[in-house]
Amino acid sequence: MAIEEVDAGSELDERSIVDPAIEIRNAKVTYDEGESYVLDDVSIDLDRNEVLGVVGESGSGKSMFASSLLDSVPDPGVLTGRITYHPRDGEPIEVLDLSKEELRELRWEEISMVFQGAMSSFNPVLKVRTHFEETLEAHDANVAEGMDFARELLSDLYLDPDRVLDAYPHELSGGMTQRALIALSMVLNPEVLVMDEPTAALDLLMQRSILQLLEDLQAKYDISLVFITHDLPLIAALADRMAIMYAFRFVEVAPTQDLVANAAHPYTRMLLNSTPNLDAPLAEMKPIEGQSPAPINLPSGCAFHPRCPLAEEQCMQSEPDYHDVSDRQGARCFRWEAAQAQILLNYEDMLEDRGTSGGDADE
């Protein structure tokens, strides 16, 4: 098959994901009638019960990806492609074919989203309890039972349920507000939780402890989790698999251990080298020079070529498709083997440094 005919994103996933909770196929978002894309032909599956970490620089399209999952890209953006949600029981649902009312039901009950900056979304004049009750009522759920579940969730998140429910939002600390928001997003027992930079406003210690709590919640309630962040090491400690976004596309997708030990895309390797880790002295941390591109006037060929130390003629002429690195790892790069050989990682084992289980892949 000629390379142009391969829907490589689908291929990458069709061979690896056995039981998808959501299939995303050729998702594109445009704000200018197709002149440019702020999400560009993204295909990926979210496996049932997996934690998928989505990482990329500011403006790379992470929030567009998140909002696409619920057909909620900000107006007047136009989303095309196919988003198929597979409930644990029942027929698959084509999200982009749903009416507004059907979408409203899907949201929170099946796929729940904590939007970027949502910490300010609590209404300051309403007690936290009212937010839970209104959400339950809006979805015709049994409020008494729902509030019992809310209390359980708040306890799971190491909060005093009655104290938090009786508080006004301003009476909670940042960490408490974020945990209350996570409990609210789960109060209708969704199968999928999408969190867009949920811990960005918190200090490092609080970010880590929230991630630990999320890991516990995910296991207890069997949810699939999409966690979006620009902080690669933070999510590496939690995610089963990582998807690295650059210029509105996924440029590498791999199980976390493989990605951290054996990343194949130059951007991923440079991103890993640019983040703090215990092995590398600060002097060895290498920020990635240059700017991530805007949607208008994307560089020709591989959009990363102006910043890539391995770029050659071919990279400027044509766009790389996914290349197989293994049966679960793929990278959009013509020269991924050269990248692994020539862009050396500045740490021994990032996951071990962070006190999580170390990788078994070797470099």
Ligand X SMILES: Nc1ncnc2c1ncn2[C@@H]1O[C@H](COP(=O)(O)OP(=O)(O)OP(=O)(O)O)[C@@H](O)[C@H]1O
Give yes or no for a contact between 41 and 26, defined as CB atoms under 8 angstroms apart: yes
* Contacted by 302, from ligand X, ligand SF4, Mg ion, none: CB < 5 to 8 Å by type: ligand SF4
Residue (59 or 81) nearer to ligand X, CB: 59
What is the nearest approach in angstroms of ligand X to the Cβ of residue 54?
9
Partner whose footprint covers residue 304, from Mg ion, ligand SF4, ligand X, none (CB < 5 to 8 Å by kind): ligand SF4
Among residues 191 and 196, whose Cβ is nearest to ligand X? 196
Please, are residues 70 and 111 in contact by the beta-carbon 8 Å criterion? Answer: yes
Question: Distances in Å between the alpha carbon of 205 and those of 120, 197, 208, 261, 270?
Answer: 21, 16, 5, 25, 25
Of the pair 115, 334, the CB lying nearest ligand SF4 is at 334
CA–CA distance, 340 with 346 (Å, rounded to integer): 13
The interface partner of residue 59, options being ligand SF4, Mg ion, ligand X, none and the CB cut-off 5 to 8 Å by kind, is ligand X
Nearest distance from residue 343's CB to ligand SF4, in Å? 10
- Which does residue 241 touch among Mg ion, ligand SF4, ligand X, none (CB within 5 to 8 A, set by kind)? none
Give the nearest distance from C-beta 61 to ligand X in angstroms: 4
Would you list the DSSP string of 207-237? Answer: HHHHHHHHHHHHHHHT-EEEEEES-HHHHHT
12: left (phi over 0), alpha (psi -120 to 50) or beta: alpha
Unique residue bearing structure tokens 């609590």: 122
Residues that bind ligand SF4 (CB under 6 A): 266, 302, 304-305, 308, 310-311, 315, 320, 333-335
CB of 270 to ligand X, least distance (A): 17
**Which of 92, 148, 139 lies closest to 112, judged by CA?**
139
Which two tokens mark 204?
């490092």
Joined tokens for residue 354: 């962070």
- Residues of this chain that interact with ligand X (CB under 6 A) are 31, 38, 56, 58-64, 74, 116, 230, 294-295
Q: From the list Mg ion, ligand X, ligand SF4, none, pick the one residue 315 interacts with, judged by a Cβ distance below 5 to 8 Å according to partner type.
A: ligand SF4
Cβ closer to ligand X: 26 or 116? 116
Question: Number of helices and strands (H, E) in the chain?
Answer: 14, 12
Query: CB 38 → ligand X: shortest distance, Å?
Result: 3
Per 3-state DSSP, the chain is made up of helix, strand and coil in percentages (nearest 5) of 40, 20, 40
Three-state DSSP at 132 gives helix
Quick one: 299 or 358, whose CB is closer to ligand SF4?
299
Look up residue 309 and give its amino acid. P
Give which of ligand X, Mg ion, ligand SF4, none residue 272 binds (C-beta under 5 to 8 Å, depending on kind): none
Q: Which of 36, 116, 209, 356 binds Mg ion (CB under 5 A)?
A: 116
Per CB under 5 A, which of residues 57..76 are in contact with Mg ion?
Answer: 62-63
Residue ranges that bind Mg ion, judged by CB under 5 A: 62-63, 116
